[in-house]
């Protein structure tokens, strides 16, 4: 059996698989687990909600899994048909293939997934790297995306390198350092006492993932403006003004310039992960643009 180089050890990979399965069973008992066959390999999807509901496709960020959308799935699935995708090459149960960050290649596999799960143009929600992929999909396959919903989306403004270097230095300090690095990159955050039991479980899973998983380090380019001009979807975007990983203001300004009808927020006091993601996503889906 070929070693899965996404993980630092086979034992760590097995631990994350067990945790993922247990947390899906505990917090998302209503979801259907699906494996979608694509040309890059199988892509795992968690689906929930009424089959005749408007399709919503959720794309998570780097180092995460579809499980990170658990509160959002629970919030949306009374109204929408929700499909949370485990991105290829990330720590979830999809193929280990790491697709290059070229718009055509990312749009190809993601279009195959959307065609398999959605019976009409979908709302596609992407956070961070998931936002990069969602944008590529909407540009290259505009017929599949009715509403492009972005949260701290990469590829629309400059990335910041120094915070990644500082976070990497913190990780050598063991669990405490990893916890600090993760909080530094994604925060500010609410106090732990304000987190729900489900969110605390997801926080613990994220920390274990950060310990066992080797994240991608290949360059993530900004999207070409000629590609972006092909987007026909309604656009909603939110960034945190204190984002340490992205130049949030530049990204927000670029979206406003390219899509004058877009609904764009730059949230005061928010970082890369913007507060209550379930509430944010519900608000964005309802936004008129």
> What CATH number does residue 109 fall under?
3.40.50.1820
Is pLDDT of 185 > 80?
no
Question: For the sheet containing 55-59, what is the strand order?
Answer: 32-38, 41-48, 81-85, 55-59, 122-127, 145-151, 234-240, 263-267
- Would you call 32 exposed, middle or buried from its count of C-beta atoms within 10 A (0-12, 13-18, 19+)? exposed
Distance CA 76, CA 260 (A): 27
Is position 27 within any domain? yes
Reported as a pLDDT band with limits 50, 70 and 90, residue 187 is low
Nearest alpha carbon to residue 285 among 140, 137, 158, 122:
122
State yes or no: pLDDT of 105 exceeds 80: yes
- Bigger pLDDT: 164 or 208? 208
Domain residues for 166? 10-286
What's the first-to-final CA gap in the chain, in angstroms? 50
pLDDT surpassing 80 at residue 12: yes
pLDDT at 264 over 60: yes
Share the mean pLDDT of the chain.
Answer: 91
- Beta-ladder partners of 34: 45
* Of 161, 160, 110, 152, nearest in space to 131 by CA: 152
In contact, 138 and 231? CB cutoff 8 Å: yes
| Number of separate domains in the chain | 1
Helix (DSSP H) and strand (DSSP E) numbers for the chain: 10, 8
Residue 4 resides in a domain: no
Q: Looking at the domain assignment, is residue 3 inside a domain?
A: no
How many residues does the structure list for the chain?
289
Choose among 4, 11, 12, 22: nearest CA to 198.
22
- Residue 1 maps to a domain: no
Q: What are the E-state strand segments in 99-242?
A: 122-127, 145-151, 234-240
**Contact indicator for 99, 73 with CB cutoff of 8 Å:** no
Output the pLDDT for position 194.
75
User: Is 103 a domain residue?
Assistant: yes
Report if residue 2 sits inside a domain. Answer: no
Q: Which of 23-27, 40-44, 181-185, 267-271 is least confident?
A: 181-185
Position 289 scores a pLDDT of 46
Which residue, among 69, 132, 75, has the nearest Cα to 105 in the 3D structure?
Answer: 132
Q: Which of 20, 68, 133 has the alpha carbon at shortest distance from 273?
A: 68
Q: Are 268 and 275 in contact (CB under 8 A)?
A: no
């Amino acid at each position: 059996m070929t070693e899965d180089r996404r993980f630092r050890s086979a034992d760590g990979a097995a631990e994350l698989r067990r945790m993922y399965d247990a947390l899906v069973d505990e917090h998302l008992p209503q979801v259907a687990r699906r494996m979608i066959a694509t040309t890059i390999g199988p892509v795992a999807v968690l689906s929930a909600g009424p089959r005749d509901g408007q399709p919503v496709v959720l794309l998570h960020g780097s180092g995460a899994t579809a499980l990170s959308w658990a509160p959002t799935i629970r919030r949306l699935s009374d109204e929408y048909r929700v499909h949370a995708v485990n991105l290829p090459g990330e720590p979830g149960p999809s193929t280990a293939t790491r697709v290059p960050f070229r718009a055509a290649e990312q749009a190809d596999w993601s279009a195959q997934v959307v065609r398999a799960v959605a019976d009409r143009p979908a709302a596609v929600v992407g956070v961070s790297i998931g936002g990069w992929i969602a944008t590529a999909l909407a540009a290259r396959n505009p017929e599949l995306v009715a509403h492009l919903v972005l949260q701290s989306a990469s590829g629309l403004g400059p990335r910041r390198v120094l915070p990644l270097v500082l976070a990497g230095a913190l990780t050598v300090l063991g669990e405490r350092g990893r916890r600090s690095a993760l909080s530094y990159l994604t925060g500010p955050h609410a106090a732990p006492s304000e987190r729900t039991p489900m969110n605390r479980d997801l926080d613990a899973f994220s920390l274990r993932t950060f310990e066992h998983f080797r994240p991608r380090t290949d360059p993530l380019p900004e999207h070409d403006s000629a590609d972006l001009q092909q987007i026909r979807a309604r656009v909603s975007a939110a960034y945190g003004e204190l984002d340490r990983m992205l130049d949030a203001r530049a990204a927000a300004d670029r979206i406003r310039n390219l899509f004058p009808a877009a609904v764009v927020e730059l949230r005061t006091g928010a970082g890369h992960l913007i507060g209550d993601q379930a509430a944010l996503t519900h608000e964005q889906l309802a936004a008129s643009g």
